[in-house]
């Protein structure tokens, strides 16, 4: 698990896009899920996007057989043709399992589906904006971290660096993820003054005036998004 952390505009998404493109060129399978901010977002929306993309590939149907009997909250988010497939409709009768156990079994089925897919091709899961992921999605990520073991699965998750309340679901999840030996944090920081000067030189074709470099560095703090917009306005 790689946790790419940094403030808005620092390049978390760009880094994940470049890395994912490299994985695809090398023959790996890339599945992407993006968290959404706002009310009404389904509990497992982040992972539903991952499973939808898995269902769209040729080997995906075989992997998704692990989800036969999936909970209604997930079944409603999966493609209609999968929900109608043989075996997909079988599920435990109400009252057979406690809600907590049912959630655990659902998580385990999703991990098994991803494990089966990874045996065909190494698997990269790109999970964008964990700060907006719901508690259920974060618990599933924890479950994957505990159960993935030696499987050829890499999770690259982007996390916005910002102040959060102690009760925020991510404040519970991050310490648990960081405790895993396979978890690595990758903090992104703004460009240094020297890097700002190098970027300017590349764009204008000659060494930039020192005053211009200093002004841009001071105003943007080296944040790539702000720096790019400032250069665009200056041009």
Task: Give the tens place of pLDDT for each residue, 177-213.
Answer: 999 999 999 999 999 999 999 999 998 899 999 999 9
Nearest to 1 by CA among 154, 151, 171, 139: 154
Q: Going residue by residue through the chain, which has 235 residues, state the pLDDT in tens, using 9 for 90 and above.
A: 999 999 999 999 999 999 999 999 999 999 999 998 877 888 889 998 999 898 888 777 777 777 766 666 666 667 665 554 444 444 444 456 677 888 888 898 899 889 989 988 999 999 999 999 999 999 999 999 998 878 999 999 999 998 888 889 999 999 999 999 999 999 999 999 999 999 999 988 999 999 999 999 999 999 999 998 998 888 8
Q: What pLDDT does 96 receive? A: 63
Q: What pLDDT does 149 receive? A: 79
* Dihedral class, residue 39 (left if φ above 0, else alpha if ψ from -120 to 50, else beta): beta
Q: What pLDDT does 141 receive? A: 96
Q: What pLDDT does 86 receive? A: 44
Full-model pTM: 0.84
Sequence-separated contacts (24+) of 15-21 with Cβ below 8 Å? 15/188, 16/126, 16/128, 16/156, 16/158, 19/124, 19/156, 20/124, 20/126, 20/156
Nearest to 173 by CA among 109, 128, 130, 111: 130
Q: What pLDDT does 10 receive? A: 94
Of the CA atoms within 13 Å of residue 196, those in its CB half-sphere come to 27
In contact, 62 and 116? CB cutoff 8 Å: yes
In contact, 217 and 196? CB cutoff 8 Å: yes
Q: Over the stretch 121-135, which tens digit does the pLDDT of each residue have?
A: 999 999 999 999 999
Q: What pLDDT does 91 receive? A: 47
- Tokens representing residue 165 in the block: 């309340």
Q: What pLDDT does 222 receive? A: 93
Q: Where are the beta strands (DSSP E) in 11-121?
A: 29-34
C-alpha to C-alpha distance for 65 and 85, rounded to whole angstroms: 9
């Amino acid at each position: 698990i790689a946790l790419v952390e940094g403030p808005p505009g620092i390049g978390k998404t760009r880094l994940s896009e470049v890395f994912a493109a490299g994985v695809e060129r090398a023959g790996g399978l890339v599945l992407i899920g993006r968290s959404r901010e706002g009310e009404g977002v389904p509990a497992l929306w982040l992972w539903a996007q991952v499973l939808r993309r898995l269902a769209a590939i040729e080997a995906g149907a075989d992997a998704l057989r692990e989800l036969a009997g999936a909970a209604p909250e997930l079944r409603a988010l999966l493609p209609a043709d999968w929900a109608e497939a043989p075996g997909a409709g079988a599920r435990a009768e109400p009252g057979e399992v406690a809600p907590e156990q049912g959630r655990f079994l659902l998580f385990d089925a999703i991990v098994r589906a991803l494990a089966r897919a990874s045996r065909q091709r190494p698997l990269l899961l790109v999970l964008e904006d964990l700060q907006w992921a719901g508690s259920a999605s974060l618990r599933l990520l924890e479950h994957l971290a505990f159960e993935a073991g030696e499987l050829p699965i890499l999770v690259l998750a982007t996390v916005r660096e910002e102040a959060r309340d102690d009760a925020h679901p991510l404040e519970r999840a991050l310490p648990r993820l960081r405790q895993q030996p396979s978890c690595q944090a990758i903090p992104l920081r703004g460009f240094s003054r020297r890097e700002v000067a190098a970027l300017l030189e590349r764009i204008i074709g000659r060494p930039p005036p020192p005053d211009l470099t200093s002004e841009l560095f001071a105003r943007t703090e080296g944040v790539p998004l702000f720096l790019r917009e400032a250069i665009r306005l200056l041009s």
